């Protein structure tokens, strides 16, 4: 069977996934792929079962090849099979990818039980939506999912159909770095209108309120601790340090979104103006409070604690 014969039957093939010496034909919608059943059976537990002796004989034969018809759409099947048969198409973290590609591959790697692809997808999510504060602090350097505007909204909607609850605290935090109206009214992402469902909106709004209150409380506490250092004579430049503390408070009070985790990185020049004693005290305070906020993050959105979420992640990976 060739492309001409397929066309006569109202079908088409994907040239990069049509091997003339292949011995199995996969069909999705009106698209066909001629592949190698040994590779499919080795990498996928699902295909291993249906291609096992005694089972494979039940499949129809076309042009000397077993035929397997899939119920999945070609938009998922093509990238999934490319990832399976072309190692350069969907590489491990270290190489950038896209959320769209991850969603196609993860959806079918879970369904057809392809462990190495599932682990690869989850590793890409980990690079952008980590379960540790240390991971968050380096995410901008190592993330492989590009920071396309409004991507967290797309990931949150994707989480409705995929078992990846451990990324939700970081996702909800990311949503809180956006204006509230995006959560309420929806966003545009890669040309699509995305609207959160009501339970997601309710969860985000409730958690956002708690986070912003905590962010404001930390800012007031930072100013108070600095004032104590000044009163005790430990501050070397009281006038300058007092001005920086006030500016930091005004900055955070004016925020209508979350930004506490990145406060120091995004305002490093301002905090360098503190005297050595005040800077040391501030950095210690910031380290303590960011850890406290991170530890509480899942609970603010009604999610299990980090330890339980991490155990879910490990179990999912170990089963893959």
Domain boundaries, the chain: 3-72, 147-304+311-320
Residue 174: pLDDT band by 50, 70, 90 thresholds?
A: very high
The tokens for 165 are 């609850």
Q: Which pLDDT does position 6 carry in this prediction?
A: 57
> Residue 269: is its pLDDT beyond 70?
yes
> Residue 271: is its pLDDT beyond 90?
no
Give the whole-angstrom CA distance, residue 63 versus residue 50. 19
Give the whole-angstrom CA distance, residue 297 versus residue 312. 17
Neighbours of 51 (CB within 10 A): 19
Q: Which pLDDT does position 228 carry in this prediction?
A: 74
Q: Which pLDDT does position 81 carry in this prediction?
A: 98
Residue 4: pLDDT band by 50, 70, 90 thresholds?
A: very low
Q: Which pLDDT does position 270 carry in this prediction?
A: 86
Give the whole-angstrom CA distance, residue 145 versus residue 153. 13
Reported pTM: 0.88
Q: Which pLDDT does position 36 carry in this prediction?
A: 96
> Residue 8: is its pLDDT beyond 80?
no
Percent of the chain predicted with pLDDT > 70 = 97
């Amino acid at each position: 069977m060739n492309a001409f014969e397929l066309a006569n039957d109202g079908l088409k093939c994907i040239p990069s996934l049509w091997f003339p010496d292949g011995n199995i034909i996969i069909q999705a919608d009106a698209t066909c792929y001629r592949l190698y059943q040994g590779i499919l059976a080795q990498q996928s537990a699902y295909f291993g079962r249906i291609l096992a002796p005694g089972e494979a004989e039940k499949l129809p034969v076309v042009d000397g090849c077993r035929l397997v018809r899939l119920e999945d759409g070609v938009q998922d099947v093509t990238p999934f099979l490319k990832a399976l048969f072309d190692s350069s198409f969907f590489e491990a973290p270290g190489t950038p990818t896209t959320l769209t590609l991850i969603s196609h591959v993860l959806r079918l790697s879970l369904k057809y039980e392809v462990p190495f692809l599932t682990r690869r997808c989850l590793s890409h999510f980990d690079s952008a939506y980590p379960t540790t504060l240390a991971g968050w602090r380096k995410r901008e350097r190592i993330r492989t999912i590009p920071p396309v505007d409004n991507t967290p909204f797309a990931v949150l909607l994707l989480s409705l159909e995929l078992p990846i609850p451990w990324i939700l605290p970081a996702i909800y935090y990311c949503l809180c770095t956006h204006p509230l109206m995006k959560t309420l009214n929806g966003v545009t992402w890669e040309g699509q209108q995305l609207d959160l469902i009501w339970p997601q909106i309710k969860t985000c709004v409730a958690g956002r309120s708690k986070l912003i209150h905590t962010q404001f409380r930390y800012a007031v506490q930072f100013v108070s601790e600095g004032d104590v250092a000044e009163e005790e004579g430990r501050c070397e430049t009281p006038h300058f340090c007092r001005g920086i503390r006030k500016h930091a408070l005004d900055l955070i009070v004016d925020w209508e979104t979350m930004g506490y985790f990145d406060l120091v990185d995004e305002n490093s020049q301002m905090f360098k103006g503190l005297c050595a004693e005040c800077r040391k005290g501030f950095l210690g305070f910031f380290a303590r409070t960011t850890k406290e906020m991170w530890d509480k993050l899942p609970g603010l959105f009604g999610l299990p604690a980090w330890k339980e979420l991490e155990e879910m992640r490990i179990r999912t990976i170990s089963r893959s």
